[in-house]
């Protein structure tokens, strides 16, 4: 039974409770629901987390932005080709501090997903993101990126307009930014499409988000020539937040409600905002040189299981 099957059972139990009203059976059912949450909904394997990361009702980037920055002003276009709806970006204040916020946006419905290209950015989307990041640097604003994409769009048009070059340029320019950059993987973090917004001083993940070089289906197709083995591939790929924290690829995990972020969105927004601001407090007093140096040193440390202490860097001490 995967997590989606467990969720259906939980919904059925809760429906029974609402139908029974105040009968004597309600107490017993409530106890059964609580037991099920604590003993079944918490037993998640890697494939369960993939399913939750892709859940149709999972909160999207715009939902987080609306909660954290009520005065958000969206900016459009890459000043070169056009505006990519799969990436939203603009300026908003979080706890009174102006941030440049950039997020990869999926839709809740088929129509919205078509409009947003299922969260798969074109090169003009990455160029829009870079334009906003350079603007943030100019006006000394911290940058927050919200990552949620299965990957950059692989279509012919995107390749003709320089998809690979756009991603590479983002990585190059982000390495030089002199303002704090915080990245949060809120859903799927797929390949270079995610990495193009993920070169940050602090990288966080929601508990049931995933972050990997390609999808489990893609991995299974390459290794076993069988996409149906995606659940097996997910276990091997080490793509969960707990795996990546252990490898020191990310800096922290933001806990989700039992059963996934979609079951208590307000809690998810609150915990995410709290963690973002806690990380910003560690970065805000660093010099521009320190911010740039530590971001690059962090990237170079991948694979060496090193962790940087931002509270007492002592002249670039790790």
The full DSSP string for 248-263 is TSSSEEE---TT-GGG
Question: In sequence order, what are the beta bridge partners of 202?
Answer: 182
Provide the pLDDT for residue 37: 75
- Could you read off the pLDDT tens digit of each residue along the chain, which spans 318 residues? 788 888 888 788 777 777 666 666 666 767 777 777 777 778 889 999 999 999 999 999 999 999 999 899 999 999 999 999 999 999 999 999 999 999 999 999 999 999 999 999 999 999 999 999 999 999 999 999 999 999 999 999 999 999 999 999 999 999 999 999 999 999 999 989 999 999 999 999 999 999 999 999 999 999 999 999 999 999 999 999 999 999 889 999 999 998 899 999 999 999 999 999 999 999 999 999 999 999 999 888 875 444 445 454 444 444
* Residue 318 placed within a domain: no
Nearest CA-CA partner of 279 in 145, 173, 178, 171: 145
* Residue 94 placed within a domain: yes
**Cα 1 from Cα 291, distance rounded (Å):** 46
Provide the pLDDT for residue 300: 85
In this structure, are 22 and 112 located in the same domain? no
In this structure, are 33 and 51 located in the same domain? no
Secondary structure of 262-279 as H, E, C letters: HHCHHHHHHHHHHHHHHH
162-216 tens-digit pLDDT: 999 999 999 999 999 999 999 999 999 998 999 999 999 999 999 999 999 999 9
* Residue 151 placed within a domain: yes
In this structure, are 276 and 294 located in the same domain? yes
In this structure, are 275 and 153 located in the same domain? yes
Contact 171, 299 (CB under 8 A): no
Domain containing 18: what range? Answer: 3-43
In this structure, are 35 and 51 located in the same domain? no
In this structure, are 153 and 99 located in the same domain? yes
Provide the pLDDT for residue 316: 42
Provide the pLDDT for residue 315: 46
Residue 194: give its domain's CATH number: 3.90.226.10
In this structure, are 28 and 63 located in the same domain? no
Contact 248, 306 (CB under 8 A): yes
227-263 tens-digit pLDDT: 999 999 999 999 999 999 998 899 999 999 988 999 9
In this structure, are 91 and 217 located in the same domain? yes
* Residue 102 placed within a domain: yes
* Residue 306 placed within a domain: no
In this structure, are 114 and 215 located in the same domain? yes
Provide the pLDDT for residue 18: 72
In this structure, are 95 and 155 located in the same domain? yes
Question: In sequence order, what are the beta bridge partners of 87?
Answer: 104
DSSP character string of 26-79: HHHHHHHHHHHHHHTTT---HHHHHHHHT-TTSPPHHHHHHHH-TT-EEE---S
pTM, to two decimals: 0.89
How many structural domains is the chain composed of? 2
* Residue 316 placed within a domain: no
Provide the pLDDT for residue 23: 61
Contact 177, 142 (CB under 8 A): no
In this structure, are 137 and 248 located in the same domain? yes
Question: In sequence order, what are the beta bridge partners of 73?
Answer: 91
In this structure, are 186 and 201 located in the same domain? yes
* Residue 17 placed within a domain: yes
* Residue 312 placed within a domain: no
């Amino acid at each position: 039974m995967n997590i989606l099957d467990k969720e259906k059972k939980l919904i059925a139990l809760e429906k029974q409770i609402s139908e029974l009203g105040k009968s004597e059976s309600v107490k017993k059912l409530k106890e059964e629901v609580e037991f099920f949450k604590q003993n079944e909904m918490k037993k998640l394997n890697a494939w369960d987390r993939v399913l939750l990361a892709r859940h149709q009702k999972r909160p999207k980037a715009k939902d987080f932005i609306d909660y954290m920055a009520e005065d958000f002003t969206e900016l459009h276009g890459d000043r070169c080709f056009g505006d990519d709806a799969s990436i939203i970006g603009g300026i908003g204040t979080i706890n009174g501090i102006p941030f440049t916020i950039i997020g990869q946006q999926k839709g809740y419905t088929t129509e919205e997903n078509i409009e947003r290209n299922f969260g798969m950015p074109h090169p003009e989307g990455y160029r829009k993101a870079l334009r906003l990041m350079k603007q943030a640097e100019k006006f000394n604003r911290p940058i927050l990126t919200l990552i949620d994409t299965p990957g950059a769009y692989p279509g012919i048009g995107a390749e003709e307009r320089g998809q690979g070059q756009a991603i590479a340029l983002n990585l190059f320019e982000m390495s030089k930014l002199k303002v704090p950059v915080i990245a949060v993987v809120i859903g799927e973090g797929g390949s270079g499409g995610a990495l193009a917004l993920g070169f940050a001083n602090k990288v966080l993940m929601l508990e049931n988000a995933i972050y990997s070089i390609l999808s489990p289906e893609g991995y299974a197709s390459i290794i076993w020539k069988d996409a149906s083995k995606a659940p097996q591939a997910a276990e091997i790929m080490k793509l969960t937040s707990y795996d990546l924290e252990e490898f020191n690829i990310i800096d922290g995990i933001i806990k989700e409600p039992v059963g996934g972020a979609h079951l208590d969105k307000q809690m998810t927004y609150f915990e995410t905002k709290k963690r973002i601001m806690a990380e910003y407090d560690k970065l805000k007093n660093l010099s521009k040189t320190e911010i740039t140096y530590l971001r690059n040193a962090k990237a170079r440390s991948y694979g060496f299981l090193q962790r940087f202490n931002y509270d007492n860097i002592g002249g670039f001490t790790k």
